[in-house]
Each structure stands twice: as structure tokens, then as C-alpha cells.
């Protein structure tokens, strides 16, 4: 059985994120049948805005844990909420071995763990400079990788802006990709490039469908 989400997670999901996503942004998900409901899973997505972690963490048919900036955990109440939602801290600007260790432990416990392929927000919402972290986690744990395209979040909340635009935000979920055959640079690069291609193709399709 998959790990049971905390009470905080359920409250945040059903009372806040879900109505926010479904009503204000006319949120829809496509491809839910591609999501393995049990076992470790690395959920890999593009990153267009600060809206992405809560949407991706709560719009899939299973909970998704995320790395989050260590500074956020020091903020009263917010730190408690994001920790209750399965987030774990990572230090910016460094390869945080403890975060990688925690992510690996979560996967081995059967969690779905979310990774943004570029590592940081992209103003055009696409995957531009993918990092190998997701592929490495999959190689370490044997977990499949699930490509997800978050369509339009970069338009809903632009980088540096505090104003929301209520444009439709859709999630397109692709078929799982097997983990790399090894931790070699060549295998990690090949899997990472495949994820980039799959996600950007789904973004293109999503933008066409939203016109």
C-alpha cells in the first residue's frame, strides 16, 4: 500500500489547492490512467511558476512529496504546513546530499517524489536546461519516471510578479519511463533528454488544445 498522507496534507489538498486549481484556473488533468498508484515513482515536470509545487503535489491521483528551499521551513506556520505535505528541505546553490538521501528514502518507502527537470523556474514554461537529478534518483532506487507537463502556469503567475492571471492550467501526464540502466553519465543524459522531449511535446499539445 502507498504511504498514507498526513491530515495536514488532506486538509490543504481538499480545502485549498483543489478548489483553487479546479475552479479559478479551470484546472484539468489528462492521462491519470498513466499514474502508477503504488510503489516508488519519480514525478518529473517543467517549472513555470510558484504555482507548480502545490498543483503537481495535489492534482495527481496520489500524493507527491517535494524538495523545498530550506529557508521556507523556518517561516512560522508555512514550515509546518509544507512539512505536513511531505516536503523536505534542500539548500539552494549546493548539492545537498541530505536532500538526495531523504528523497531516496522516501522513494524506497513507496512515495512519489516530485522533481522539476530544470531545477528552477523558466520564463517560457518549457524544459530548457534539464538536470540529471531525476534520472539519478530513479537509477538509485529503480523507480520509474513519470513525465508531466504543466501547461500555462508560467502565464498565470509570471516570474517576479505577485498578480495572478486566471488562465486555464492543465496537467498532461505521459506514460512512465523506465529508470536508467546505470548511473553512468551517458545513461543519465539519455534518460534526461528523453524526459525533456516528452514533456515539451506534451506542452506543445496542451497549448494547441487550449486555443
- Rounded to an integer, what distance in angstroms lies between the CA atom of residue 86 and that of residue 65? 5
- Rounded to an integer, what distance in angstroms lies between the CA atom of residue 60 and that of residue 73? 24
Tell me what pLDDT residue 211 has: 53
- Rounded to an integer, what distance in angstroms lies between the CA atom of residue 45 and that of residue 146? 8
- Rounded to an integer, what distance in angstroms lies between the CA atom of residue 150 and that of residue 154? 9
Tell me what pLDDT residue 13 has: 85
C-alpha grid cell for residue 210?
Answer: 487550449
* Mean pLDDT score across all residues of the chain: 88
Q: How confident is the model at residue 210 (pLDDT cuts 50, 70, 90)?
A: low
Tell me what pLDDT residue 208 has: 63
Tell me what pLDDT residue 98 has: 72
C-alpha grid cell for residue 186?
Answer: 551517458
Q: How confident is the model at residue 164 (pLDDT cuts 50, 70, 90)?
A: very high
Between 87 and 96, the higher pLDDT residue: 87
Tell me what pLDDT residue 65 has: 85
Average pLDDT over residues 167-180: 96
Tell me what pLDDT residue 168 has: 94
Residue 112 β-bridge partners: 41, 64
Between 7 and 125, the higher pLDDT residue: 125
C-alpha grid cell for residue 19?
Answer: 478548489
Task: Of 33-37, 144-148, 158-162, give the lowest mean pLDDT range.
Answer: 158-162
Between 73 and 127, the higher pLDDT residue: 127
Q: Report the share of the chain in percent with pLDDT over 70.
A: 94
- Rounded to an integer, what distance in angstroms lies between the CA atom of residue 194 and that of residue 34? 17
Q: How confident is the model at residue 50 (pLDDT cuts 50, 70, 90)?
A: confident
Cβ atoms of residues 44 and 117 within 8 Å? yes
Tell me what pLDDT residue 179 has: 97
Is residue 66 over pLDDT 90?
no
Amino acid at each position: 500500500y502507498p504511504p498514507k498522507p498526513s491530515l495536514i496534507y488532506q486538509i490543504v489538498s481538499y480545502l485549498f489547492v483543489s478548489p483553487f486549481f479546479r475552479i479559478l484556473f479551470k484546472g484539468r488533468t489528462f492521462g491519470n490512467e498513466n499514474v502508477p498508484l503504488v510503489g516508488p515513482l519519480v514525478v518529473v515536470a517543467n517549472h513555470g511558476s510558484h504555482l507548480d509545487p502545490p498543483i503537481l503535489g495535489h492534482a495527481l491521483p496520489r500524493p507527491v512529496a517535494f524538495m523545498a528551499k530550506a529557508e521556507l521551513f523556518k517561516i512560522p506556520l508555512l514550515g509546518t504546513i509544507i512539512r505536513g505535505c511531505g516536503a523536505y528541505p534542500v539548500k539552494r546553490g549546493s548539492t545537498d546530499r541530505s536532500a538526495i538521501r531523504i528523497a531516496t528514502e522516501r522513494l524506497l518507502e513507496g512515495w512519489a517524489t516530485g522533481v522539476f527537470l530544470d531545477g528552477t523556474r523558466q520564463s517560457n514554461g518549457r524544459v530548457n536546461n534539464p538536470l540529471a537529478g531525476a534520472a539519478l534518483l530513479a537509477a538509485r532506487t529503480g523507480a520509474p519516471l513519470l513525465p508531466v507537463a504543466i501547461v500555462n502556469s508560467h502565464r498565470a503567475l509570471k516570474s517576479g510578479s505577485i498578480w495572478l492571471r486566471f488562465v486555464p492550467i492543465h496537467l498532461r501526464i505521459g506514460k512512465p519511463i523506465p529508470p536508467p540502466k546505470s548511473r553512468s553519465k551517458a545513461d543519465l543524459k539519455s534518460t534526461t533528454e528523453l524526459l525533456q522531449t516528452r514533456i515539451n511535446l506534451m506542452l506543445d499539445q496542451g497549448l494547441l488544445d487550449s486555443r
